[in-house]
Structure 1
Amino acid sequence: MAPLGLRLIIGFGFMAHGWAKISRGTAGFERLLARTGIPLPHLGSVVAPYVELLGGLAVLLGIFITVAALPLIATMLVAMLTIHIHYGFSSVNTIGLTPEGPVFGPPGYEINLLYIAGLLSLMLTGAGAFSIDRLLRRNRRVRE
């Protein structure tokens, strides 16, 4: 049951982040990549959101976990080492308080590490009982 929980959270998270970049247009994400010195920011701004969206869907469904996890880990490492590392560890950086509530600064690299750890766990343990990978493996055994 644990792999299912990890898959649902990680898969949905990646899909949400990928969809947010795609649905608003990738121009803003391209500017962010260019400002941080990422080579080929246009290509990255188009490829990364689709890696997140489609890789997240694969994780959510539990299909080709290892294949899907590797590019997702790569996107997390790039984001962590180019952007989030400058803001420290914590993903919740409170920088002020207003009458409306807290004001948050940019997130640190905590979330990147959590995503990477979850993906590595899924790669090592497999997608679990409630996954397409399990169904494919079961069907292959039946045919043999």
Structure 2
Amino acid sequence: MNGTWADWAPLPLRLILGFGFIYHGWEKLADGTEGFQMMLGMIGIPGGAATAWFVALLEFFGGLALIAGALVPFVAVLLIGNMLVAAVTVHLPHGFSFMNMTGMGPDGPQFGMPGY
């Protein structure tokens, strides 16, 4: 790959990850972080409101930074840490599937929350 294409190679990954983090950060910020804060408390993550705000802001502004290509190594380390904590505290105990079929109804499959 020549120099010109090599410079552009990370862009699709940065866009995909960036928009994903922006989306999830915005979900936490849009209606306030109270619900997210309660969920963190239920799974044993300390820090309460400070942790909820930090994670929400990290995901939103970290996603923006990835898209812009600003501070990518630093932001990537923070986001990797964020995702490792999520994987260990949420997904290992409750599963990695984002939806689980709980039964079959007359209209087709019925789905429940992750881990059910």
Question: TM class by shorter-chain length?
Answer: 0.7 to 0.9
Q: How does 1:1-144 map to 2 (within 5 A)?
A: 1-98=8-105, 99=107, 101-106=109-114
SS of the counterpart of 1:95? strand
With over 3 angstroms needed to count, the CA separation of the structure-2 counterparts of 1:15 and 1:50, relative to structure 1, is same
The CA distance in 2 between the partners of 1:6 and 1:97, in whole Å, is 37
The CA distance in 1 between the partners of 2:20 and 2:104, in whole Å, is 27
- Using structure 2 for the length normalisation, give the TM-score: 0.81
Question: Partner amino acid for 2:111?
Answer: V
Aligned-pair CA distance for 1:2? 4.0
The CA distance in 2 between the partners of 1:41 and 1:97, in whole Å, is 38
CA RMSD of aligned residues (A): 1.9
With over 3 angstroms needed to count, the CA separation of the structure-2 counterparts of 1:58 and 1:102, relative to structure 1, is same
The CA distance in 2 between the partners of 1:43 and 1:69, in whole Å, is 21
Question: Partner amino acid for 2:68?
Answer: L
Aligned-pair CA distance for 1:92? 4.3
Structure 1 unaligned blocks of 5 or more: 108-144
User: Larger relative contact order (C-alpha < 8 A, sep ≥ 6)?
Assistant: 1
SS of the counterpart of 2:70? coil
Structure 2 unaligned blocks of 5 or more: 1-7
Aligned-pair CA distance for 1:82? 0.8
The CA distance in 1 between the partners of 2:102 and 2:62, in whole Å, is 33
Determine what percentage of the aligned residue pairs are the same residue: 41
Q: Could you report, residue by residue, the CA deviation over 1:7-52 in whole angstroms, capped at 9, with x for unpaired residues?
A: 1110000000000100011000000011111111221111100000
Deviates more, 1:48-57 or 1:38-47: 38-47
Question: Partner amino acid for 1:8?
Answer: L
- Tell whether the 8 Å contact from 2:101 to 2:109 is kept in structure 1 after alignment: no
Aligned length: 107
- Using structure 1 for the length normalisation, give the TM-score: 0.66
